[in-house]
Structure 1
């Protein structure tokens, strides 16, 4: 029960932050590429990689990993935005979105992991 509450607490912070960051980034960059979603997914992937890179208590993992990062990142929105782009004829932008999201997201997770391991000694 405590773990579920920690997940909910992390999500209560991550979800509104996702919305605010997405809107701020997207409004600052007038492009068809959904940079707001890309930004939160890359940031969340980096943070989750860092959390995996150092030993954290299960409670902290539930709060930050499952709750916060789970609510901050939004791969379902990435999928929807990619489909929407493809269906409206912006196939090259859709392809760029999915390639960037996957490669930069994985790279950010790896970088977060490597940095955390290096700092942890």
Structure 2
């Protein structure tokens, strides 16, 4: 019998982290872990790579600021989200952030430096 289990790992270099990336590709959530410092993330890129092939890229609006202690959920188009910045944003260019057995989500600042990662990997085991 074969079973599978989703394995997760995440890291952040700074106050902005990828809090969640839905397995069904509906949304990605970022969090500002600093309680009081607002973080301007306008122009930052959220990249999601599916099974090492397909890459989806979302770029934050130029003036976007993630307030201290707050989070923002970026919804793929038509997936039940409401466009209500700065709490939630609709990503009109994509109907899904993608689904696969190896999903890697990265956050890059305006200079192209990696600031956060969120890795989801489906580990299959035979019993």
Provide TM-score, normalisation by structure 2: 0.24
Q: Higher helix share goes to which structure?
A: 1
Provide TM-score, normalisation by structure 1: 0.25
